[in-house]
Amino acid sequence: MLWIMAQDKERISHVIEVSISGKKIMGVGSAGLNEWGNLLGKYDSKERAMEVLEDIHRTIANSSQFAITYTMPTD
């Protein structure tokens, strides 16, 4: 279970997938049979977005907890 605090700090989302779209990092979640997508963060370059995605991956890989939390960097 992955919970992510959005870059703007205005919401926390339970996500099942995280992906990059250009300079944006998007989260996908589900509620019953419905899927939704949210912008989790927007960065100055695709390279920076990739760095943040890699950090999310490291956080997941290094955790032995069932529930993982991650806060999107502001820069």
Residues 9-57 have pLDDT tens digits of 999 999 999 999 999 999 998 877 777 889 999 999 999 999 999 999 9
Q: How far apart are CA 3 and CA 47, in angstroms?
A: 23
Q: How far apart are CA 38 and CA 18, in angstroms?
A: 10
pLDDT of residue 55: 98
pLDDT of residue 33: 72
Q: How far apart are CA 41 and CA 57, in angstroms?
A: 15
pTM of the model: 0.89
pLDDT of residue 34: 77
pLDDT of residue 54: 98
Q: How far apart are CA 62 and CA 65, in angstroms?
A: 9
- The three-state secondary structure class of 27 is strand
